[in-house]
Amino acid sequence: MSSMRQPQLAGSNEQPPAMRVHGWLWWSMVAISIMLLLLWFQRGWIASDRWPVRWIEITAPEQRVSAEQIRARLRDHLQRGFFSLDLRHMVQQLEALSWVASARIQRSWPDTIKVSIREHRPVAYWNERELISDHGVLFAADAANVIRELPRLSGPPQRRDEVLRQWLAWRDQLLPIGIGIASVQLSERGSWLLQLDNGSQVALGREALAQRMQRLLAVWPQLRRGGQLPQYIDMRYSNGLAIRRPAVINAAPDDLVQAAPAGPQQSTAESRLMAQQDTGQ
């Protein structure tokens, strides 16, 4: 009786011999590659003397952070060689520079690293010692990078964000009528004082800040008549304000709105508009 070969079932999971050989070869190549890589590390075949970093490409505004500062921060790291660089630590070193907001470093074969820097963009001083960026980040500034035209903000440390928000709101309200803010002060008791860029001081007090600012905007055209701006504007009234103007030397009595009380070294004249001062300030 002749034997008959059974046909292979269509659903069988058995792979052809050629496929099994190919799979074995692929895994063997992976294992050999890993072993060679470990051997290279062990024998120093990818050490710094074999793969040195020769070039640094820097993309940065270079307004506050110089290329020399960047190279100085990375000099020790570059001695490790192209493959041994600790990129994360290098980024941390750059971001420790006071004016660096963020940094990014990439390898570029065969001997180059690419460095990109984003600098802080300061918008104001905080308590005369630090700067506030456009993202609300507080950072220190050295004396060589002083920006004198920035406004000065000051107040209790825990209320920094509140001072920043108030300054931005008042700035946007005053700019349309041509007034800038030189400084904003918040006292420990919570009282607000503005110094305008035209030399006038504005006391807003502790409450009803929005209403008092609107009142100032409404009456400002009257205050600037005659070309002499008030030296001091007190908005701490329920339905009015008080102003103090610089004294005019040898002025006739009619040139002053209301004479200030006599006293030693008196140099101002004061007038009051609807003066009924709030008890709460």
Evaluate if residue 214 carries a pLDDT over 90.
yes
Domain of 64? 55-119
Same domain, 185 and 212: yes
Q: Which one of 70, 104, 119 terminates a domain? A: 119
Whether 126 contacts 157, CB under 8 Å:
no
Residue type, 207: E
Same domain, 194 and 109: no
Q: Does a structural domain hold residue 208?
A: yes
How far is the C-alpha of 50 from the C-alpha of 44, rounded, in Å? 8
CATH of the domain at 252: 3.40.50.11690
Indicate the range of 32-41, 137-146, 153-162, 252-261 predicted with least confidence: 252-261
Same domain, 104 and 235: no
Q: Does a structural domain hold residue 155?
A: yes
Same domain, 219 and 147: yes
Same domain, 102 and 153: no
Q: Supply the DSSP string of 89-125, one letter for each residue.
A: HHHHHHHTSTTEEEEEEEEETTTEEEEEEEE--EEEE
Indicate the range of 30-44, 183-197, 227-241, 264-278 predicted with least confidence: 264-278
Percent of the chain scoring above 90 in pLDDT: 56
Same domain, 169 and 215: yes
Q: Which stretches of the chain are DSSP H helices?
A: 17-43, 67-78, 87-95, 160-174, 209-223
Check residue 46 and give its pLDDT. Answer: 55
Same domain, 130 and 113: no
Summarize the confidence of residues 147-176 as an average pLDDT.
95
Q: Which one of 99, 119, 139 terminates a domain? A: 119
Summarize the confidence of residues 208-215 as an average pLDDT.
96
Same domain, 133 and 171: yes
CA 26, chain centre distance (Å)? 52
Could you tell me the two tokens for 222?
């009257």
Q: Does a structural domain hold residue 279?
A: no
Residue at token pair 């630590």: 89
Q: Which stretches of 133-273 are DSSP H helices?
A: 160-174, 209-223
> Long-range pairs for 73-78 at CB < 8 Å and ≥24 separation?
73/97, 74/113, 74/115, 78/52, 78/53, 78/113
Q: How confident is the model at residue 28 (pLDDT cuts 50, 70, 90)?
A: confident
Q: Which one of 66, 94, 119 terminates a domain? A: 119
CATH of the domain at 67: 3.10.20.310
Q: Does a structural domain hold residue 240?
A: yes
Give, in order, the Cα–Cα distances in Å from 102 to each of 127, 129, 130.
24, 22, 18
